[in-house]
C-alpha cells in the first residue's frame, strides 16, 4: 500500500510543481517522476527487508539474497533511467515485463503468508492477493499510460489527447 501512496503523492506534488514552473500541468512528466520515486522507494525495501524479501522467492530458486539485491538495483536503475527521455521508452517496456515477472513472487508470498517486513509467516495470506494483483496491474497500466503512450502516439490515435 505504501508504494501506491508514494506514487499518488509524488504525482500530485509533481503536477503542482510543473504548473508552478511552466504554467501548465505536465501530466505525463509528473507520472514519470512519480513512478521513478516509487521505484526508488520500493528499491529501499530490497536492502532493508532482505530476509523477508528473500522468503518471497520460492524455495527451489537458489541465490535468494543475491536476487533480492539485484532486483533492488534494477529498480534503482529504472528509477534513474525514467528521468532521461532517451531511455524512457525502453525503460517503460522493461518495467512492464519486470512487474509481470515479479507477480509470481507476490502470489507465492501471499499463499505462504509471508510478511516481508517482519521476515516471518504472519502475512495477510490469500486475501492480500485481492489487493496485490490489482495493484500490480495498476502499476503496469501507469507505466503504459504515463511512460509509453506519450511516445508512441497511442493516446492521440484513440482521441484521448489532441496534442502532447
Share of the chain above pLDDT 70, in %: 91
Is the pLDDT reported for residue 126 higher than 90?
Answer: no
Range with lowest mean pLDDT among 78-82, 96-100, 122-126, 155-159: 155-159
Please report whether residue 153 resides in a domain: yes
Average pLDDT, the chain: 90
The 10 Å Cβ neighbour count of residue 65 is 12
Dihedral (Cα; 38, 40, 44, 45), 10-degree rounding: 30
Residue whose C-alpha cell is 514519470: 32
Task: Give me the mean pLDDT over the 102-130 stretch.
Answer: 86
DSSP string for the chain: -HHHHHHHHHHHHHHHHHHHHHSS--HHHHHHHHHHHHHHHHHHHHHHSHHHHHHTS-TTSS-HHHHHHHHHHHHHHHHHHTTSHHHHHHHHHHHHHHHHHHHHHHHHHHHTT-BTTTTBS-S-GGGGHHHHHHHHHHHHHHIIIIIIHHHHTHHHHTTS-S--
Rounded Cα distance, 93 and 143, in Å: 8
Is the pLDDT reported for residue 164 higher than 90?
Answer: no
Please report whether residue 94 resides in a domain: yes
Instruction: Name every residue whose Cβ is closer than 8 Å to that of residue 73 and which is 6 or more positions away in sequence.
Output: 43, 46
pLDDT digits (tens, 9 = 90+) for 37-72: 999 999 999 999 999 999 999 999 999 999 999 999
Please report whether residue 164 resides in a domain: no
pLDDT digits (tens, 9 = 90+) for 18-32: 999 999 999 999 999
pLDDT digits (tens, 9 = 90+) for 127-160: 877 888 899 999 999 999 999 987 666 555 555 5
Please report whether residue 95 resides in a domain: yes
Expressed as residue numbers, the domain containing 38 is 2-157
C-alpha cell at 151: 511516445
What number of CA atoms fall less than 13 Å from residue 139's CA on the CB side? Answer: 29
Give the count of domains, the chain.
1
Please report whether residue 162 resides in a domain: no
pLDDT of residue 160: 52
Question: Taking CA 74 as the corner, what is the angle to CA 73 and CA 77, rounded to the nearest 5 degrees?
Answer: 85
Please report whether residue 28 resides in a domain: yes
Please report whether residue 44 resides in a domain: yes
Amino acid at each position: 500500500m505504501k508504494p501506491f501512496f508514494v506514487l499518488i503523492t509524488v504525482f500530485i506534488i509533481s503536477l503542482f510543481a510543473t504548473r508552478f514552473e511552466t504554467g501548465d500541468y505536465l501530466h505525463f512528466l509528473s507520472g514519470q517522476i512519480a513512478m521513478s520515486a516509487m521505484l526508488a522507494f520500493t528499491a529501499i525495501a530490497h536492502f532493508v527487508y532482505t530476509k523477508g524479501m528473500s522468503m518471497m522467492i520460492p524455495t527451489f530458486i537458489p541465490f535468494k539474497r543475491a536476487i533480492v539485491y539485484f532486483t533492488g538495483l534494477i529498480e534503482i536503475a529504472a528509477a534513474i533511467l525514467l528521468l532521461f527521455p532517451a531511455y524512457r521508452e525502453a525503460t517503460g517496456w522493461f518495467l512492464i515485463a519486470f512487474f509481470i515477472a515479479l507477480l509470481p513472487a507476490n502470489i507465492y508470498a501471499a499463499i505462504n503468508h509471508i510478511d516481508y517486513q517482519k521476515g516471518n509467516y504472519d502475512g495477510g495470506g490469500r486475501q492480500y492477493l485481492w489487493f496485490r494483483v490489482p495493484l500490480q496491474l495498476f502499476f503496469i497500466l501507469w507505466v503504459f499510460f504515463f511512460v509509453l503512450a506519450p511516445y508512441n502516439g497511442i493516446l492521440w490515435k484513440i482521441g484521448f489527447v489532441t496534442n502532447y
